[in-house]
Structure 1
Amino acid sequence: MFPAEEIERLIEAGMACDYVNIQGDDGVHFTGIVVSAAFEGLPRVRQHQAVYATLGKLMGNEIHALQLQTYTPAKWAEVRKDLDL
């Protein structure tokens, strides 16, 4: 089983992030939100690939699945009001 906190730490160590929140109850399936200025101008697929790159070989092994929501800081400012975060 892999802890969600370690995934957060690895993402934050691998890229500049404004906000990272990873959740997962079973240690292999996770969901998360990642906010980074590095996502500016990138399509969603490339944003997700940038996050997965920070996790390297853990993806598909220790981390079976990671469902992501990725945002630029500007988009996150809009979305978090709607989510009441």
Structure 2
Amino acid sequence: MFEATEITRLIQQGLPCDYVQIQGDDGVHFTGVVVSAEFAGKPKVRQHQAVYATLGPLMGNEIHALQLQTYTPEQWASVRQELGL
């Protein structure tokens, strides 16, 4: 079983992020939002791969699934505005 807080820490340690929120309550399936300027100009698959790379061999082992929403800071500002956050 793995903790969402540890996944958050590993992502923040391995990727410069403006915002990271990871949730999951069964210890193996997680969802999250990651915002990073590193995502600029990259397709979603490459953005997700960059996040997965921060977790290394934990992905597919201790972490069975991680459903991601990834954004650049500009995209995140727009999404937050649309949601009224």
Question: Could you say whether these structures have the same fold, taking a TM-score greater than 0.5 normalized by the shorter chain as the test?
Answer: yes
Q: Distance in 2 between matches of 1:43 and 1:78?
A: 18
Q: Distance in 1 between matches of 2:19 and 2:82?
A: 16
Q: 1:32 is matched with which residue?
A: 32
Alignment of 1:1-85 (within 5 A): 1-85=1-85
Number of corresponding residues:
85
Q: Give SS of 1:60's match.
A: coil
Q: Give SS of 1:9's match.
A: helix
Please give the TM-score of this superposition, normalised by the length of structure 1.
0.97
Query: 4+ residue runs of structure 1 moved beyond 3 angstroms?
Result: none
Overall identity of the aligned pairs, in %: 76
Please give the TM-score of this superposition, normalised by the length of structure 2.
0.97
Question: Mind listing any 5+ residue stretches in structure 1 that lack a counterpart?
Answer: none
